[in-house]
Structure 1
Amino acid sequence: MSLGSDIEAELPALRAEAESRMTETVEFFTVTPGHDPVTLKAIKIETVLKTSVRARVKAAKRDARDVAVGGQTPVLSQTVLSVPVGSHKTAPSEWVRVTASTADDGLVGTTYRVADYPTLGQVTAWRCPIEQTS
């Protein structure tokens, strides 16, 4: 046996384990500017890309910086979205909304913007950084 064949043999089980940790359901969509046909006011038009995708929203890091700026210590944070490999390959500037969560009701309704492409390859889940918008 080689390391490559060992990983190849275990990867499906590891992906199943990662998916078992996904306690949220999300929908992916894009947002484009438009106008309400009646009021002619500017509106945002959502185009749904995929719904009912299992996911995990996780605060990956939240670190205070050593250097104070303007008398305040800034905090750097990063939130990561994980989805099953093959479910939905996100792209920067897509949006994601949590529609259900068995772990935290506070996540339901929160909206995020995808900040970068997901990590691909020999991974247990597709993970990408997201920025909370609501």
Structure 2
Amino acid sequence: MAERHTACRIVRFAESRENDDRAGDLAAQALAAEDGLVGIYNASAGGMKVAQAIKRAGRSDVVYITHELSEQRRAFLKAGQIDTLLDQEPATEIAIALSVIARYFGRVDDFALAILCMDLHHMR
């Protein structure tokens, strides 16, 4: 990041230990302590608590990125409380991994791969 975005720096790293309330508290602390804070990335639990901490701080200028598209997070995304959601699709990830392995070893043709991908997609 330092090479490509020289004006940006990580000012704080915190571990929520998969605790929603702790994630919200850590976000609130960072928002209070760092005047120049422009973004928060949350890769763990507590996504909604972080969004609420940003709103309570009156910091709609902070870019908030988190994971997993749920109905609640979709509503926060539409309301502008979450700027970006990184949604994971395990079935697609499995299909991609298997296709890379199968192609590497020459064990699958394109037709078989398409069927495999469709079957994995329907497992969701």
Same fold (TM over 0.5): no
* Higher relative contact order structure (alpha carbons within 8 Å, sequence separation ≥ 6): 1
- Which of the pair has more CA radius of gyration? 2
Tell me the TM-score normalised to structure 1 length. 0.23
Going by fraction, where is strand more abundant, 1 or 2?
1
Tell me the TM-score normalised to structure 2 length. 0.25
